[in-house]
Amino acid sequence: MAEVKELREYQKNTVEKVISSDKDLIICLPTGAGKTVIASSLIAELNKLDKTVIFIVPRLELIKQASKEFGDVDVIWADKTSLTGKKTIIASKDSLRTQCKKVPENLVLIFDEVHIGLEQTYNLIHLIKPQRVLGLTATPERMDGKALLKGTDSVHKFGCFDELLQEETVSGLIEKGYLTPLKYYTKPIEGITEIKPNEANGQELSDEQMIEIFDSNQVWGDLVKSYEQYGIQNGVKRSALGFTNTIAMAERVANIFNEAGYNFKVISGDMKIDKRETLIKELKTGKIDGLINAALLTYGFDCPPVSYAFSCRHIKSRPFWFQMVGRILRTCEGKTDAIFMDHGDSVSEFEEPTCSLPILDPFIKWRVDGEYKEEKAERKKQQKKERESLKLLQELDPLPCAMVEIKVENTWERMIKVLQKLKKENDGLFNLTQRLQKQSEILTHEKEMLQKELKNTNKRYVDNDKTFEFCKFNYCKVRNDLHEKFWNSPMYAKMDYQQKMNAEHNDTIKKLKEMEKKMPFLFDENVFNRSMSYWESHYRYLPKLYR
């Protein structure tokens, strides 16, 4: 096993919490947080406890890279494997599945990039039956809404974990100096969030769709203009990294820069590894101005000197988008900030009412427990309102190349600042400013309440036993009270029997969740949901006379 480096405080806290727990945990580590360092330390500590650890990478070609990082280990290949008794084993999901009979007992499985291939992970766990399962990821959620946590309904069908553990966020690491401050710009493209990918369940729009969008919105000319405006300072060019989803698109973009007098080259997964390494070295040393990559460098790319990136893709998956933006946040000597130009307007898919740039949201809520269709529809509705506000902000306070800077603060707050400046020139904007001020106060209040809620949450802990007892003693009591109101209320006279029963049950759940706020503990969601399912089918009304 490779020598474990000295850990930062948050890395040390992460390792200690994992080792002191016996639960199956998802460990959320932002890009640049030191995943390899934490993984090495975790493996070393588990080995001390006489646990054999299998570190599982999502793709076969990453086995060699992982084995170099972790040192003296056994490796499980797809075709042939000879284990020598080492306490650390490297494998891919496919190679482990084909060679599963050769692995020892007393196992701990650690899945890298655990949000990828959830069903395959689930099947592998049930095939091997390890003592414990851990997952590493910078983005603990899935675009398809499937939960990573365990549960009983269809959303949780392939859930493998008990809890999420996250010691740091991107914004926290920037504040501590471990990541580079980010400046993010986009050109809002009207209606782009309504366009569906050509491929079913696709994570992004296709090459053909992006070309059509770039043509109709005059984006091609913005590529060089934006680089010259934001990527060159006092004659010094920033090392640049461009994202496209095909080689053809990458070549077209590189030609645009080269025709303007710059030196950009294409890098793709079709190239041999030594050729790719040569190109990356040329970018690091400044021999070339930039690389345009075709769906390659979104995972595992490490080139800290890069401080300017731009995307010609429209990503609809928040984890995918986080990974892409995070590629340029690693620190480097002389690097004061990182600029990301979102020419494909991907951020329009992820803006939240209280935070326009969720990658920097200190209170980000990962959808680790999945997302139901109704929840997704409501989220999209709120994002549409946010886009309308952002478009107005772009018109009121335009930037070069028709870009708008996306910041952490909500759009309403930013718009008020702009309107206050413009009011001196046009008194007619006064009433609009007042309305926006009220809206901002509401949003600010909601944000303060969220902060208080998070603060209070930190003082309470999830307790599955108390959750079970609470449901056992309170469900029937609450529902009995509601039952009497329901059956005597004209409001429910038109309902049939089953509709009344469903309404009673749903209102009982709402009442119990309101009661949770006053409890000294937090509900275990899995226990609560299972209890609700049980009592829904076993509840019988008991009149007051017999209670």
**Which of 168, 192, 227 is a domain's end point?**
168
Examine the domain organization and report whether 376 and 227 are in the same domain: yes
Q: Residue 189 carries which side chain, given as an amino acid letter? A: I
Domain for residue 452, yes or no? no
Domain for residue 83, yes or no? yes
| pLDDT score recorded for residue 437 | 82
- Please indicate, yes or no, whether the overall pTM of this predicted structure exceeds 0.85: no
For the sheet containing 308-311, what is the strand order? 264-268, 290-294, 240-244, 308-311, 338-342, 182-186, 404-406
Domain for residue 530, yes or no? yes
Examine the domain organization and report whether 146 and 182 are in the same domain: no
Examine the domain organization and report whether 469 and 363 are in the same domain: no
- Dist. CA 120–CA 112, nearest whole Å: 13
Helix (H, G, I), strand (E, B) or coil at 270: coil
How many domains is the chain partitioned into structurally?
3
For 371, other C-beta atoms within 10 Å of its C-beta total 18
| pLDDT score recorded for residue 545 | 53
Examine the domain organization and report whether 71 and 148 are in the same domain: yes
Examine the domain organization and report whether 185 and 313 are in the same domain: yes
Examine the domain organization and report whether 296 and 336 are in the same domain: yes
- Dist. CA 168–CA 176, nearest whole Å: 10
Domain for residue 270, yes or no? yes
Helix (H, G, I), strand (E, B) or coil at 267: strand
The residues, any chain, with a CB within 8 Å of residue 21's CB and separated by 6 or more, are none
Bridge partner residues of 77 (DSSP):
none
Examine the domain organization and report whether 25 and 93 are in the same domain: yes
HSE-up of 199 (CA within 13 Å, CB side)?
A: 9
The residues, any chain, with a CB within 8 Å of residue 543's CB and separated by 6 or more, are none
Domain for residue 81, yes or no? yes
The residues, any chain, with a CB within 8 Å of residue 243's CB and separated by 6 or more, are 293, 297, 298, 309, 310, 311, 312, 313, 324
Examine the domain organization and report whether 191 and 316 are in the same domain: yes
The residues, any chain, with a CB within 8 Å of residue 500's CB and separated by 6 or more, are 486, 487, 492
Query: Helix count (H) and strand count (E) of the chain?
Result: 17, 16
Examine the domain organization and report whether 130 and 230 are in the same domain: no
**Which of 168, 201, 219 is a domain's end point?**
168
Low-confidence spans in the chain with pLDDT less than 70:
1-4, 61, 200-201, 297-302, 353, 387, 390-391, 393-402, 409-431, 451, 453-459, 544-547
For 463, other C-beta atoms within 10 Å of its C-beta total 17
Domain for residue 430, yes or no? no
Examine the domain organization and report whether 210 and 83 are in the same domain: no
> Which residue segment(s) compose the domain that 284 sits in?
177-380+400-408
Asked whether 405 and 347 are in contact (CB, 8 A), the reply is: no
Domain for residue 260, yes or no? yes
Complete DSSP assignment for 410-438? -HHHHHHHHHHHHHTT-GGGHHHHHHHHH
332-337: list long-range contacts, CB under 8 Å, 24+ apart. 332/180, 332/304, 332/305, 332/307, 335/180, 335/304, 335/305, 335/307, 336/180, 336/181, 337/180, 337/181, 337/182, 337/183, 337/307
- Dist. CA 149–CA 167, nearest whole Å: 18
Examine the domain organization and report whether 127 and 248 are in the same domain: no
| pLDDT score recorded for residue 380 | 80
CATH of the domain at 118: 3.40.50.300
Examine the domain organization and report whether 212 and 232 are in the same domain: yes
Domain for residue 441, yes or no? no
How big is the CA angle at 231 (ends 229 and 235), to the nearest 5 degrees? 85
Tokens of 479: 């529902």
The bridge status of strand 236-237 relative to strand 240-244 is unpaired
For 512, other C-beta atoms within 10 Å of its C-beta total 19
CA-based nearest residue to 507, from 496, 497, 515: 515
| pLDDT score recorded for residue 345 | 93
**Which of 168, 186, 211 is a domain's end point?**
168
